[in-house]
A and B are shown apart, each in its own frame.
Chain A
């Protein structure tokens, strides 16, 4: 019976210089897949290559040879002696392999647990493999199941919806305050480089305009150009606070750039339209007292980091629930896989019976040469009928047990009773 094997390396087992040399370029994936499937012992093949992992999954009738061939394939395709990276590789079989694939798809094996990209990457890799016709029954079933497990984990746990980076936290917070970010204006005060990521996220969420102000006018212009925004003279800062909804500040100023009295005045002029300050400067730019004003919200870099850390802890909590889901699904999948073994068992049972019948029939017929053709025919029919009658009940029972859980025991007993393994 064919088996699935996996050979791979990831961020835990291999340093980045190995990972980048072993990785497969997406545009050549089709060629690699075909070369992989061309290996003599493999019947199906799948390659997942991201910056954090390279995994090759294949179906084979000869697992040991298959693993060696895949290792050789990795070395050959990347022009790298196997000895240089062999100890970074892991080889997985059976239940362990199924669990691994499910965990990777559900983002439980990711560097940042719960990050959402990995599922898309596996789906992309699978699409390519499917288009190149290198996957078959086993891998199709395995990967489809992996996708549905990932989906289940995502809907039944909140593993993916907690922001774990400071810039994402800022966006998440903005969404607690504002219904949506479309049409909002964000103001960047100061150097801006540190907040680049946050600005990118905000723009992706629909922020309409990025305003930039800096003590040095040239610097403001430069940054405004980079964010496709609008440069504002530093002296205009108080007035700009009237139109901005989100302010990200990161100047090198030793004193507060925005003071409490200023903000309470501005918030009145804004008719209490909410204002969200994100202060990522050290020393701080914005008077912490502004947080006490109604409709003004202030988070400094420590606050953001604390939220991010709390979210990471929550994610790990959720990951435990997710592992339980994976465990259930692994068991289900393995049961399916083992049910495949039933068919070969029945076939070898029939083959064995046929062999015995033929042998004994030949013996008897050669000992009775005087029999007529008609009598010979009758003897043959008799032996066939006996064999079929004997097998009928055991086979019926085996087929029935494929639905209940003692099937493995039955298959095992049948194999032992008829000594099917020796052949």
Chain B
């Protein structure tokens, strides 16, 4: 049942992505409307997927790669829909929805069976730790989208190519503000994600920190964002540099999430769960 809803979600996101891309290229208001509607519909269907999978599995469905990718995409879309209320940034959907679509296509390609939870993960810390970690990641994903958009808009304005495309993109100031807000919200969430992970590690594995690759890369990511936050607050970094940092930071997020799981062996790798 949850797989059915998952597939519906995938198809609806695909439609939303196409609509948003049409909007980006043609500025047809109806395309934006369709994109918004489909993304919202997909989000609802995605919520149902989770609830159903939670009920079927009996635990929070964030333990294998299929579930994690899907959870990540769900949060990215959710945050984007929230962000839309705050800023007039419909066009950002053209960057967010393809990202969410890629994540969910990745999830679709992986085995979707529900496997019994390994004993090490049987804890209330699982949803807490994973939720905070992914909340932070999803917000950084939005900062990444805003950063990419910023670089495009900045290039257009600097090179004096300010035609229709530039007119559809948000102003540089708005994009930079999204970057900053994402940083100030995402960073504490990432911190909480790491801290809850450490506390849980103490319970489960007997030590707060064991330099497992996931932990190491989380720390690298955390340091990157800490550096960006520092530069922003103290040195007044903004604009292009901050946008590039948000993109680099998100690269680290993705590597921590995917690269570590796929390429490295460690405590976070439950081999049979990812193949």
Contact = CB atoms under 8 A, between A and B. Distances in A.
A113 to B, nearest CB: 16
Contacts of A274: 172-173, 239
A161 B164 CA distance: 10
B164 A272 contact: no
Interface stretch (A36-44, A175-183, A196-204, A343-351): A175-183
Instruction: Name which of B160, B235, B240 has the most chain A CB atoms within 10 A of its CB.
Output: B160
Contacts of B177: 179
A414 B29 CA distance: 47
B239 A158 contact: no
A175 B171 contact: yes
A178 B171 contact: yes
B173 A294 contact: no
A176 B160 contact: no
Interface string B241-274: 1000000000000000000000000000000000
B162 A307 contact: yes
Interface residues of A, number: 27
Interface in A64-106: none
Interface stretch (A226-234, A295-303, A326-334, A403-411): A295-303
A314 interface: yes
B64 to A, nearest CB: 42
B236 A176 contact: no
Interface in B166-183: 166-167, 169-174, 177
Contacts of A291: 158
A135 to B, nearest CB: 32
Contacts, number: 63
Given A177-B157, A299-B160, A271 B236 contact: yes
A16 interface: no
Contact of A177 (B160, B163, B173, B235): B173
A180 B242 CA distance: 21
B29 A295 contact: no
A372 interface: no
B238 A272 contact: yes
B209 interface: no
A176 B241 CA distance: 18
A173 interface: yes
A182 to B, nearest CB: 12
Contact of B157 (A161, A176, A272, A294): A176
Contacts of B164: 158, 162, 314
A173 B173 contact: no
B120 to A, nearest CB: 47
A306 interface: yes
Nearest to B159: A291
A179 B236 contact: no
Nearest to B27: A158
CB-CB nearest 10 A-B residue pairs: A271-B236, A179-B173, A179-B174, A295-B239, A272-B238, A303-B160, A179-B171, A272-B236, A294-B240, A178-B173
